[in-house]
Amino acid sequence: MGGASIWHWIVVGVIIMLLFGRGKVSDLMGDVAKGIKAFKKGMADDDPVPDTRA
């Protein structure tokens, strides 16, 4: 039971490209990037906690 080598990931990538095609993979990566940007924007837009000290 060894770890995943670089050749393992290359083979997995080629199989994914063959199954889904280049267009779907790039669309998926674009959607992931949009999701990450929206998450970061949402985190930055959070209202700060008001200071309740008198």
Do 36 and 45 form a contact (C-beta atoms < 8 A)?
Answer: no
Q: Coil, strand, or helix at residue 3?
A: coil
Confidence of residue 3 (pLDDT cuts 50, 70, 90): confident
Tokens for 23, please give them: 């267009």
User: CB-side exposure of 37: number of CA atoms within 13 Å?
Assistant: 6
Closest CA to 17 of 4, 2, 1, 29: 29
- 44 vs 39, residue with greater confidence: 39
Q: Provide mean pLDDT across the span 6-19.
A: 88
Arithmetic mean of pLDDT over the chain: 81
* CB within 8 Å of 16: residues ≥ 6 apart: 25
- 12 vs 47, residue with greater confidence: 12
Confidence of residue 16 (pLDDT cuts 50, 70, 90): confident
